[in-house]
Amino acid sequence: MSIPASDIDLHSDDVLNDPYPVYQTLRDLSSAVYLPRVEAYFIGRYVDVRRALEDWQTFSSAKGIGLNPVINEAWIEALICQDPPVHTDRRVLMDEALGPRSIRPLEETIDARAQELAGRLLAMGQFDGVADCALDLPINVVMDLIGWPEDVRPGLLSLADGSWNAAGPEGARMQSGLNQLGQMMALIAEIYDNNRVIPGGFAAQLVDAAHEGVISRESAIGMLAGYVVAAFETTISAMASGLWLFSQFPDEWQKLRNKPALLTLLANEVVRMEAPIQNFARYVAQDAVLSDGSRIPAGSWAIVSYGSANRDERTFAEPDRFLLDRKERINVGFGAGPHRCAGQGLARMELRAVFGALLERVERFELTGVPERNLNNITRAFRSLPLRVVGGG
């Protein structure tokens, strides 16, 4: 089956601001659509995206997950750019640090911090959903958990956010991202080389493993960079997106207030609607036949779209509707397969804590201005989110 081509620019400001109509256009064309602008095949239907994420032998990460050779060379030691068995061995260290056994003792601390945050937001009345809410737990709890030294914390998140742009195609946004990525990696290398991580944190475990010869210095630095993504990016994006979604779908907030047990499903639906990671590239190591018979030839690059898959009407009823108790509880907002999000347990815990703390106190969320998107080649997030809370308890 021949694969259609499209001149759509996935990385234009307009598309990054609202990609979902474009995703639907591409999904409707075929299981795979060739994009000459980036010389890659777009995969956007849920069944095909899921298969690509799970079939690492065909859709390989080992040559990189970016759309330019510079970033793929720079990230050669990053965990997201590894296939099994190398990935499997290294992933154990991250899963142990961010797994249920390690984060369970944090639940009480996170709940207490969430209660403080809820009280502060109510007292403020009007606030920014990013600066005043979404950043709170990652900066005040998770930075300690990972063990980043105090002096690097203010700049680390900004550098990490910008560095994702480096994974896009050649352009001003990509070049700016490369600069920020270089700064972030240099900062992490300096912390590693001078052993400045806080003892007892997850970062210290990685440094110890490197000193013991379990992993190399370069691998340790690459995995430390991975902690920034796994523990911060997903949570910050999802927290702000949750606030925005409840302002747009007030009936769902009332539903949650009436049935707090739905908190366990909150993270799933938030990341389905607004996947923090929208797209990653994969190298097609062998001919790939997709669900409609489309064949992507070996040696090609593919864009695997989490954001598109999660809005695929072939899998989800009313895909553009935020629905906490929807029947389809599968999505790829936290990834799937070997590269599923290592920090999703922590993200779920933080989302449950913050929105749980707000349930009895907030009747509704209202926008007080126009939200500003943080346009990025890979991630989807808000730069600012002006909100007002109306007390309800």
Q: Give me 263's structure tokens.
A: 């908190």
What pLDDT is stored for residue 106 in this prediction? 85
Per the CB < 8 A criterion, the answer to whether 262 and 373 are in contact is: no
Higher model confidence: residue 75 or residue 227?
75
Whether 393 has a pLDDT exceeding 80, the answer reads no
What pLDDT is stored for residue 392 in this prediction? 67
pLDDT digits (tens, 9 = 90+) for 297-324: 999 999 999 999 999 999 999 999 999 9
Q: Across-strand partners of 277?
A: 379
Highest mean pLDDT among 90-94, 111-115, 163-167: 111-115
Cβ neighbours of residue 79 closer than 8 Å, sequence gap 6 or more: 87, 90, 91, 94, 222, 223, 226
Per the CB < 8 A criterion, the answer to whether 65 and 286 are in contact is: no
- φ, ψ of residue 126 in degrees (nearest 5): -110, 140
Tell which residue, 351, 345, 386, has the closest CA to residue 369: 386
Q: What is the mean pLDDT of residues 88-115?
A: 85
Q: Give me 25's structure tokens.
A: 């256009």
- Maximum CA extent, the chain: 60
Question: Which domains are delineated in the chain?
Answer: 13-391 (1.10.630.10)
Tell which residue, 84, 110, 48, has the closest CA to residue 289: 48
Other Cβ atoms within 10 Å of 279 Cβ, number:
28
Task: List the beta strands (DSSP E) in the chain.
Answer: 32-35, 40-43, 59-60, 126-128, 279-284, 288-289, 295-296, 301-305, 362-367, 372-373, 382-384, 386-391
Cβ neighbours of residue 102 closer than 8 Å, sequence gap 6 or more: 96, 202
pLDDT digits (tens, 9 = 90+) for 220-239: 888 888 777 666 778 899 99
